Every structure is written in structure tokens, then in C-alpha cells.
């Protein structure tokens, strides 16, 4: 992995067994320098008479030890505890395993500085990631020592350290160029993802907030809660079911409507297709949050214009509370699907329109000569060609709808209320439920479990989709 | 790359009405045509009405939702004046602009560089890192957002616009890198090789030769990453707290959910002020956007 740009990387402090490097005999078997490097970083390279390389590897080892001592609280004749004396690595790993041992307490001198479990966990993760990086360098040094010796024994030329580093620089270019992105990804994506996974196995929630309380590892208890405690399981099952139904219907309706409009606009019978097309693109171009909030106002039960018209025209006797009437959850769901249709069809219209423009007219001429009617032409020419090009996007659209936070949250905020659900309403999707669990109810552990579940579902769909595309083969 | 240009024209009119069609056929054609126009008209009304309604409301003489009409009788700019003088909207607008610009610059620079390296440089660990990027890209960004929130909360890093921009860049980086890599794969390598023979360094080749050729994909990533922060809700809602640090999307949502404000016309003005620039941008650049979306799907 990336090594050259991080010269001072810390390491675990393994039991040091300083061993005087033996005289480098030319006939030394290959594993010997490897073993030497495994015990003391760079010792094998020294055996191979590559002082520069030896110094390079030893620097990582020394850097790690120095870092640990400098950040820790080491002094002679101490009684060692990881909590009080450990440095970056030791205390980090201790924190990750125990999540802290001393809660904040009231003493005679005031509140004590308790352990903050979440900070400890994050620090521990960073220490662990650093250790993993060091392990890679360690393996690299061991393999390098053994291989170089094997090459020497086979009569190969003795490469100097200088030549080696020149070669390394050439191949390290990619890593140097990638490193800004890599650093950002590690700290803003990889670390949070790992952290999120860990939280799923703790009792970090509003009842247990650091720094006041300590967080504990609880194993699979949260998973058991969601899948086995009846009220939670019912909520999860109900929301999952609606999420799937929502995603399927939302995808099919937007695609079908987009296809229909695109085919109509491609027809020779329609005048001014460009004008129509520009108008129909508006819902795609207007930010979805604005449109959804506008619809929310239009369908406002108390003051919204839609209810008012229905009353004015005598369709309904009293105002309809579209998103807040607990007795008619399906009404809210249907409206949400319609609003989503309004928002989603232009994208497919534009896509399909692009495909249609590229179907050679000769296909249709040939079909007409064979006596095919317009419906048959559509069924056997247009549809297969469109389908082939657009299918990956339909699957992407399904995933998008599965996680369609915007429409639901802005339009209904999950409502109407559902008394059978925990912290969720009738139109809540898994995503919006997750959002409410985390932000409004601070049930971080349950939220983390939900994140994992959603990732599993979305991941499986994405992997299946990926296998169909060129992406994997072109890696 | 996208085999299909997004340009939608009518089919070549070579086959426009054959000569020998009988008049009965023509009448039936006329009826079908009228019916199709009727359907299109209905769709157009449904599409336009909510937009006209909110634009009209924003010029309405004020107050609650119940009085909002698409065509206000005595139109005024009061709501816009009120929006920019009485609320924090101007502040939010600048905040969004700051995050959007940062997000655009960072996303384009990082993803172009990474995508190019993956496409053109062979190095150890390349396959593994690309697989990693594919997996990260599948991980919906709000899931990371929630973990980021918990981390920032405990380290006291919340309420920073720059932090929000960094998280946004990182969240979209795997996907953008993937797009850039796919695009660069399809650029001819012969130009690079010729320049390398002439003694150009790698970074020079990237800057002078590859980057100009990548312009369509750069444009796509630039537009999407510039517009995303204006509409994004989850990340800013999680990461920002104080009123003066909000983005436009957050502010608008608060305006409409605040039960006591009852100030729909101000919200309408805010909605229009947010939607107008983005809508124009999308309509003008629609070809780029649709082509880019296709490219993303084809590459997985």
C-alpha cells in the first residue's frame, strides 16, 4: 500500500528480541534474512548488505515505537496499565476492546474525567488501521529480504539500495497521485463505515450517552431486538414490505410513463415535439426538494388547494387530510407514488428519447413492408432495443427509489402515524425510519443495525447488476 | 461510452406520409393525432400547474397557504424583499454557494486525477483498490453520513461548512472516480505514448493531453457536484446545527415545517429563488447530464 508518502508510521511494540546480525555469508539460505527482518525490521536487509533499505524499514519500526512512547505515559519503575500509561497504540487498542472502564463520577473534587467510549472506539479504530498498514510494510520487508537473498543465491546481480528506491519511486507514482483521494476516503468513508458497523454491536443510544455513561459491547443483541422483539419486528417487516412495494411501483410507473411519452413525442403525428419535450423536462430540472415541498403544501389537509377544490366541486363533503389521516394510510401512499411519478418520468423520457432517435428508420420500413401494425412495431422493434439499453438504469432507479429519502420525508415526513409502528409512520421507508431513529430518537445502535440491513439489500442488488455489466471484467 | 447521444430529434422524415394513403386512413390518423395531443396537453397541465402555482404564490400579497393562488391579483415583490431582509435566507444562500463551489472543485480535481491513474497507470494493488471503490460506491452515502455524524458529534466537529464539503466530496468520490476512469479508458492512448516518447513527464501528459480530452466528463461531474449541495438535505441536516450555518435546502424545509410561521408566500419566494438557477442550468446542459447518467449506468 501507500508507503512513501508516510515516512513516519507508528507500529505495534512487539516483544523486542534484539539479535546481533550475523555475518552475511554468501551461501546463507533465503529464509534466514527473511526471519531476521521478521524479528527486527530491516535486519534481513542488513544481512543482504543493503544498508539504505535496512534503514528505511527500521525507520518505520523505530517511528512506531517512538510514537507509542511519546504519546503514552512511560517512565521508569511504573506500574503499567493501558488506560493510564498506554500510548497511541496500546491505549487505542485497550479502548477499542473495553470501550472505557471509568464512568464519569461525582467526587469530592467535582466531576471526574470519565472515559468517552465513542472517542475511545474511534481512536482504537485509527490505531488498528495504522497497525494494519504497518503489518503490510512488515510483510513487505520480510518478503523483500528473503527474495533478494534467493536471487543472490541464484547468482543474480546485487542491486544497491539506491537502484531499488529509484525503481520504487517509479511504481509508487500511482500511489502518490492517488494519496489525496485515498486519505479523504479513509477518513471520511472507510473509517465511518467501520465505525458504523462496530456501533451495531454496542448499546450506544439515548439511554447510554457518553461521556456520562459508558458504552458496552453487546454482541448481536441489537439484531435480536429488531428481528425478535415483536413490536420492532412488526415495524421492520411492515416498513420493509412497503419499501419494496414502493420501489417496484415507483420504478415501473416512472419508466412506463417516460417510455409512453417518449414514444409519443417520437411519433410523426405530434406537432412541435421539442416544445413538449422541454415542458416535460421541467420536473427533472427543478430541484426535487422544492417540488416535493410544493406538493406537500398543495396536499396540505387544512389549507391546501387540492382539498379545497374537492370540497368546492362537491366531490368530498369535508377536507381530505392526505398525509395525516391514520385511518387511510394507503391514500397517503398512493399520493406519494403519484408525486414520485411526476418527479421521475422526465428522466426516463429523456433517456428513451435518446435511444429512439438512434433506431434506424429502415427497421420500421422493413416491418411495414412485412405488414406489421404500429403496435407490433412497438412490441418487436422499439421495446427490445430500448429495454436493452435502459435496463441497467432501471435497476439503478430501483435502488434509488428503495432509498428515496427525499420524496417521502419532504412530502409526508413518514406520516400518517401508525400506532403499530415504533418511531415510524405508514409511508416511512427504511431510509426515513433510519433517519428518524438516529437523529430524532438517538437510537444509534438500532440505526446502525438498520444501516447494515439496508446495505445488505442494496449491495446484493448492485452486485447482481454489476455482474451483468462490463465493469467487473474491465477491472 | 454512451453509445447513444442524448439528442432527441424526430426520426428522419423520409418516410413521412406515403403518397398513396387513402382518405379514410387520413381521417383515422387525424383522430389518433388529436387524441395524442390531448394526452400531451393533459400531462403538460399536470406538469406545469404546481410550478405556476408556487411562482404565482411567491408574488402573492402575502400570508398563509390558504390564500395562495397561481395568478395573484395585485402582484408584488414584497415576499422576496422580506425573504432577503427579514430571514437568514441570504446567509443560507451564500453558505450553499460556498459548499457547492468547494464540492465542485474538490470533486472534479480528485476524481479526474484518480480516474486517470486507474485508467492509465498499472500498479500493484490496482485491481484490489478498484474493487474497493466499487464496493464503497454501493454503500449509500447517507449510511456513511450517519456514522460521520456520530463521529463528528463526539469529536466536536459538527457545524462546519468546510467539513460538510469534505464529507460530500468523499461520499461522491468513488462514483465520480469510476465515471472518470470509464471515460479515460475510451480515450486513445496513442497521444499519451507519443508525448511520452517526446519526453513529457506523467503529470505533464495528464495536464496537457488527457485533461482537455476529458472535458465532457469533467463538465458532467462539475455540474452534478455543483448542484448536489443545493438540494442535499440529509448531510447538512446531520452535520450543521446553528441557524447561521444552514444551507438553503435546510432553511426552506424549516420554513415550511414551522407550524407557527404560517408564511407560505415567503417560502414560495425562497423556493423559486433556489429552483430558478438550477432549473436553468439543467435545461441548458441537459444533453451533458443525460449522456453522463447513461455512461455511469453502462460502467456499473
3-state helix, strand, coil in chain B (%, to 5): 75, 0, 25
The answer to whether the Cβ–Cβ distance between B134 and A199 falls below 8 Å is: no
Res B139 pLDDT > 80:
no
Give A25 to chain B, closest Cα distance, Å: 32
The answer to whether the Cβ–Cβ distance between B252 and A403 falls below 8 Å is: no
Alpha carbon distance A455, A251 (integer Å): 19
Res B294 pLDDT > 80:
no
- Interval B105-124 mean pLDDT: 92
Collect all residues of chain A within an 8 Å Cβ-Cβ radius of residue B136. Answer: 185, 189-190, 193
Minimum mean pLDDT among A90-104, A141-155, B3-17, B66-80: which range? B3-17
The pLDDT profile of chain A, 475 residues, written as one tens digit per residue, is 443 444 444 444 444 444 444 444 456 787 888 888 888 888 888 888 888 888 889 999 999 999 999 988 888 777 888 888 888 899 999 999 988 888 887 777 777 778 888 889 989 999 999 999 999 989 988 988 888 888 888 887 777 888 888 888 777 888 888 999 998 998 888 888 899 899 999 999 998 888 788 899 999 999 999 999 999 999 999 999 999 999 999 999 999 999 999 999 988 888 898 899 999 999 999 999 999 999 999 998 888 888 888 888 888 888 888 888 888 899 999 999 999 999 999 999 998 998 898 888 899 999 999 988 888 998 999 999 998 888 888 888 898 899 899 899 999 988 898 888 989 999 999 999 999 998 889 999 999 999 899 888 888 887 887 777 655 555 5
The answer to whether the Cβ–Cβ distance between A193 and B169 falls below 8 Å is: no
Count, residues in chain B: 300
Measuring CA to CA, which residue among B167, B270, B213, B234 is closest to residue A438? Answer: B234
The answer to whether the Cβ–Cβ distance between A365 and B32 falls below 8 Å is: no
Output the pLDDT for position B262: 67
Domain residues of chain A, as ranges? 31-199, 222-468
Collect all residues of chain A within an 8 Å Cβ-Cβ radius of residue B241. Answer: none
The answer to whether the Cβ–Cβ distance between B4 and A355 falls below 8 Å is: yes
Output the pLDDT for position A29: 81
Res B60 pLDDT > 90:
no
User: Which residues 41-80 of chain A have a CB within 8 Å of chain B?
Assistant: none
B57 contacts B265 by C-beta, under 8 angstroms: yes
Collect all residues of chain B within an 8 Å Cβ-Cβ radius of residue A463. Answer: 138
Output the pLDDT for position A293: 93
| Mean per-residue pLDDT of chain B | 84
Alpha carbon distance A234, A228 (integer Å): 9
Give residue B128's pLDDT band: very low, low, confident or very high (50, 70, 90).
Answer: confident
Partners of residue A72 on adjacent β-strands: none
Local structure of residue B66 (DSSP, 8 states): G
Contacts 24+ apart (CB under 8 A), B250-258: B250/B92, B251/B87, B251/B88, B251/B89, B251/B92, B252/A289, B252/A290, B252/A293, B253/A289, B253/A293, B253/A410, B255/B87, B256/A293, B256/A296, B256/A297, B257/A413
In three-state form (DSSP H/G/I as H, E/B as E, the rest C), the secondary structure along chain A is CCCCCCCCCCCCCCCCCCCCCCCCCCCCCCHHHHHHHHHCCCHHHHHCCCHHHHHHHHHHHHHHHHHHHHHCCCCCCCCCCHHHHCCHHHHHHHHHHHCCCCCCCEECCEECCCCCHHHHHHHHHHHHHHHHHHHHHHHHHHHHHHHHHHHHHCCCCCCCHHHHHHHHHHHHHHHHHHHHHHHHHHHHHHHHHHHHHHHCCECCCCCCCCCCCCCCECCCHHHHHHHHCHHHHHHHHHHHHHHHHHHHHHHHHHHHHHHHHHHHHHCCCCCCHHHHHHHHHHHHHCCHHHHHHHHHHHCCCCCCHHHHHHHHCCCCCCCCCCCCCCCCHHHHHHHHHHHHHHHHHHHHHHHHHHHHHCCCHHHHHHHHHCCCCHHHHHHHHHHHHHHHHHHHHHHHHHHHHHCCHHHHHHHCCCCCECCCCCCCECCCCHHHHHHHHHHHCCCHHHHHHHHHHHHHHHHHHHHHHHHHCCCCCCC
Burial of B217 (0-12, 13-18, 19+ CB in 10 A): buried
Q: What is the pTM of this model?
A: 0.83
Alpha carbon distance B106, B110 (integer Å): 6
Output the pLDDT for position A4: 41
In angstroms, what CA-CA distances link B27 with A376, B21, B33, B34, B39?
A: 21, 11, 10, 11, 19
ipTM: 0.85
Asked if the peptide bond before residue A211 counts as cis, ω within 30 degrees of 0, the response is yes
Could you tell me how many CB contacts below 8 A there are between chain A and chain B?
A: 304
Measuring CA to CA, which residue among A458, A453, A403, A394 is closest to residue A243? Answer: A403
Q: Give me the torsion for CA of A177, A178, A182, A185, rounded to 10°.
A: 110
Collect all residues of chain A within an 8 Å Cβ-Cβ radius of residue B139. Answer: 189, 193, 455, 459
> What are the pLDDT digits (tens) for B176-230?
998 899 889 888 888 888 888 888 888 888 888 899 999 889 999 999 999 999 9
For the domain made up of B91-248+284-298, give the CATH fold.
MetI-like fold (1.10.3720)
Superfamily of domain A222-468: MetI-like (1.10.3720.10)
Output the pLDDT for position B122: 85
Query: What percentage of chain B reaches a pLDDT higher than 70?
Result: 88
Give A122 to chain B, closest Cα distance, Å: 7
Name which of A180, A289, A462 is nearest B249 (Cβ-Cβ): A289
The answer to whether the Cβ–Cβ distance between B300 and A465 falls below 8 Å is: yes
> What are the pLDDT digits (tens) for A204-250?
999 888 878 889 999 999 999 999 999 999 999 999 999 999 999 99
Give residue B17's pLDDT band: very low, low, confident or very high (50, 70, 90).
Answer: very low
Beta carbons within 10 angstroms of residue A445's beta carbon: 23
Give A241 to chain B, closest Cα distance, Å: 20
Amino acid at each position: 500500500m501507500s508507503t512513501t508518502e508516510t515516512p513516519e508510521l507508528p507500529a505495534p511494540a512487539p516483544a523486542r528480541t534484539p539479535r546481533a546480525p550475523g555475518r552475511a555469508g554468501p551461501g546463507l539460505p533465503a529464509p534466514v534474512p527473511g526471519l531476521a527482518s521478521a524479528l527486527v525490521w530491516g535486519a534481513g536487509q542488513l544481512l543482504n548488505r543493503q544498508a539504505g533499505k535496512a534503514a528505511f524499514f527500521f525507520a518505520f519500526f523505530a517511528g512506531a515505537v517512538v510514537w507509542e512512547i511519546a504519546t503514552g505515559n512511560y517512565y521508569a519503575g511504573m506500574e503499567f496499565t493501558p488506560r493510564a500509561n498506554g500510548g497511541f497504540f496500546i491505549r487505542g487498542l485497550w479502548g477499542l476492546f473495553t470501550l472505557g472502564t471509568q464512568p464519569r463520577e461525582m467526587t469530592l473534587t467535582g466531576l471526574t474525567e470519565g472515559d468517552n467510549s465513542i472517542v475511545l472506539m474511534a481512536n482504537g479504530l485509527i490505531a488498528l488501521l495504522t497497525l494494519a498498514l504497518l503489518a503490510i510494510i512488515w510483510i513487505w520487508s520480510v518478503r523483500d529480504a528473503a527474495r533478494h537473498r534467493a536471487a543472490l543465491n541464484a547468482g543474480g546481480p546485487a542491486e544497491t539500495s539506491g537502484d531499488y528506491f529509484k525503481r520504487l519511486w517509479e511504481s509508487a507514482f500511482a500511489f502518490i497521485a492517488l494519496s489525496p483521494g485515498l486519505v479523504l476516503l479513509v477518513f471520511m468513508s472507510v473509517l465511518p463505515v467501520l465505525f458504523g458497523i462496530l456501533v451495531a454491536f454496542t448499546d450506544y443510544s439515548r439511554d447510554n450517552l457518553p461521556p456520562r455513561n459508558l458504552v458496552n459491547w453487546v454482541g448481536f443483541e441489537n439484531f435480536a431486538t429488531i428481528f425478535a422483539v415483536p413490536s420492532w419486528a412488526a415495524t421492520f417487516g411492515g416498513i420493509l414490505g412497503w419499501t419494496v412495494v414502493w420501489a417496484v411501483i415507483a420504478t415501473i410507473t416512472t419508466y412506463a410513463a417516460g417510455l409512453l411519452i417518449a414514444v409519443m413525442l417520437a411519433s410523426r403525428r405530434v406537432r412541435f415535439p421539442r416544445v413538449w419535450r422541454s415542458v416535460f423536462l421541467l420536473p427533472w430540472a427543478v430541484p426535487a426538494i422544492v417540488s416535493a415541498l410544493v406538493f406537500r403544501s398543495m396536499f396540505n389537509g387544512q389549507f391546501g388547494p387540492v382539498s379545497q377544490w374537492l370540497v368546492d366541486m362537491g366531490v368530498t363533503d369535508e377536507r381530505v387530510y392526505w398525509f395525516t389521516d391514520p385511518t387511510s394510510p394507503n391514500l397517503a401512499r398512493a399520493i406519494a407514488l403519484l408525486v414520485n411519478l411526476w418527479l421521475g418520468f422526465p428522466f426516463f423520457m429523456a433517456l428513451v428519447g435518446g435511444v429512439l432517435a438512434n433506431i434506424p428508420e429502415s427497421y420500421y420500413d422493413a416491418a411495414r413492408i412485412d405488414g406489421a401494425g404500429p403496435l407490433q412495431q412497438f412490441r418487436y422493434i422499439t421495446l427490445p432495443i430500448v429495454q436493452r439499453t435502459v435496463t441497467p438504469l432501471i435497476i439503478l432507479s430501483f435502488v434509488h427509489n428503495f432509498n428515496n429519502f427525499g420524496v417521502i420525508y419532504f412530502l409526508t415526513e413518514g406520516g400518517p402515524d401508525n400506532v403499530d409502528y415504533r418511531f415510524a409512520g405508514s409511508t416511512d421507508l427504511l431510509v426515513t425510519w433510519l433517519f428518524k431513529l438516529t437523529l430524532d430518537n438517538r437510537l444509534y445502535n438500532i440505526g446502525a443495525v438498520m444501516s447494515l440491513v439496508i446495505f445488505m439489500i442494496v449491495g446484493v442488488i448492485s452486485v447482481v447488476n454489476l455482474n451483468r455489466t462490463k465493469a467487473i471484467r474491465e477491472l | 461510452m454512451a453509445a447513444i447521444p442524448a439528442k432527441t430529434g424526430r426520426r428522419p422524415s423520409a418516410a413521412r406520409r406515403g403518397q398513396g394513403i387513402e382518405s379514410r386512413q387520413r381521417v383515422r390518423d387525424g383522430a389518433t393525432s388529436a387524441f395524442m395531443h390531448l394526452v400531451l396537453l393533459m400531462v403538460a397541465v399536470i406538469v406545469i400547474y404546481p410550478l405556476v402555482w408556487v411562482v404565482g404564490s411567491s408574488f402573492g400579497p402575502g400570508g398563509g397557504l390558504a390564500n395562495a393562488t397561481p395568478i395573484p391579483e395585485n402582484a408584488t415583490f414584497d415576499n422576496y424583499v422580506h425573504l432577503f431582509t427579514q430571514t437568514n435566507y441570504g446567509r443560507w444562500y451564500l453558505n450553499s454557494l460556498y459548499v457547492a463551489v468547494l464540492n465542485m472543485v474538490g470533486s472534479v480535481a480528485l476524481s479526474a486525477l484518480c480516474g486517470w491513474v486507474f485508467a492509465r497507470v498499472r500498479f500493484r494493488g490496482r485491481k484490489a483498490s478498484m474493487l474497493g471503490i466499487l464496493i464503497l460506491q454501493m454503500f449509500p452515502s447517507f449510511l456513511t453520513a450517519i456514522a460521520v455524524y456520530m463521529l463528528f458529534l463526539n469529536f466536536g466537529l459538527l457545524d462546519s461548512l468546510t467539513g460538510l464539503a469534505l464529507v460530500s466530496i468523499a461520499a461522491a468520490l468513488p462514483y465520480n472516480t469510476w465515471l472518470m476512469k470509464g471515460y479515460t479508458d475510451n480515450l486513445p492512448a496513442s497521444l499519451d505514448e507519443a508525448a511520452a516518447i517526446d519526453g513529457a513527464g506523467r503529470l505533464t501528459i495528464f495536464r496537457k493531453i488527457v485533461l482537455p480530452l476529458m472535458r465532457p466528463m469533467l463538465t458532467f461531474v462539475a455540474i452534478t457536484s455543483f448542484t448536489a449541495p443545493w438540494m442535499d438535505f440529509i448531510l447538512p441536516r446531520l452535520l450543521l446545527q446553528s441557524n447561521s450555518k444552514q444551507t438553503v435546502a435546510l432553511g426552506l424545509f424549516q420554513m415550511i415545517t414551522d407550524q407557527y410561521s404560517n408564511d407560505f408566500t415567503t417560502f414560495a419566494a425562497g423556493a423559486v429563488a433556489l429552483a430558478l438557477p438550477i432549473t436553468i442550468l439543467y435545461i441548458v446542459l441537459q444533453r451533458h447530464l443525460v449522456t453522463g447518467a447513461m455512461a455511469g449506468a453502462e460502467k456499473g
